[in-house]
Amino acid sequence: MCGRLTLTHPNTALAALFDATLANDLPDSPRFNICPTQAVPVVTSASGLRHLAPMRWGLVPSWYKTPTDGPLILNARSDTVAEKPAFREAIRQRRCLVLASGFYEWSAGPDGARLPWYITRADGQPMALGGLWQAWGDTRTCAVVTLQAGPNLDPIHDREPLMVNPQDWPLWLGEAGHGAALLMRPTPAGALRAHRVGRAVNSNRAQGPVLIEETAD
161 or 2, greater pLDDT: 161
> Is a pLDDT exceeding 70 seen at residue 187?
yes
Is the residue at 180 inside a domain? yes
pLDDT reported for residue 216: 76
* Residue 169 Rama label (left phi>0; alpha psi -120 to 50; beta): alpha
Is the residue at 217 inside a domain? no
pLDDT reported for residue 184: 96
Domain count of the fold of the chain: 1
Is the residue at 90 inside a domain? yes
**Tell me, what CATH number does 126's domain have?**
3.90.1680.10
| Residue numbers of the domain that contains 129 | 4-212
Average pLDDT of span 163-190: 95
- Tell how strand 127-136 and strand 139-148 pair up: antiparallel
The whole-model pTM stands at 0.96
pLDDT reported for residue 213: 96
> Is a pLDDT exceeding 80 seen at residue 217?
no
pLDDT reported for residue 110: 81
Is the residue at 69 inside a domain? yes
Is the residue at 146 inside a domain? yes
217 or 67, greater pLDDT: 67
Is the residue at 150 inside a domain? yes
- From the list 96, 105, 142, 160, the catalytic residue is 105
Closest CA to 164 of 88, 99, 91: 99
* Three-state secondary structure call for residue 133: strand
pLDDT reported for residue 151: 95
Average pLDDT of span 35-55: 96
pLDDT reported for residue 1: 64
Q: Could you confirm whether 105 is annotated as catalytic? A: yes
Average pLDDT of span 137-152: 95
pLDDT reported for residue 90: 95
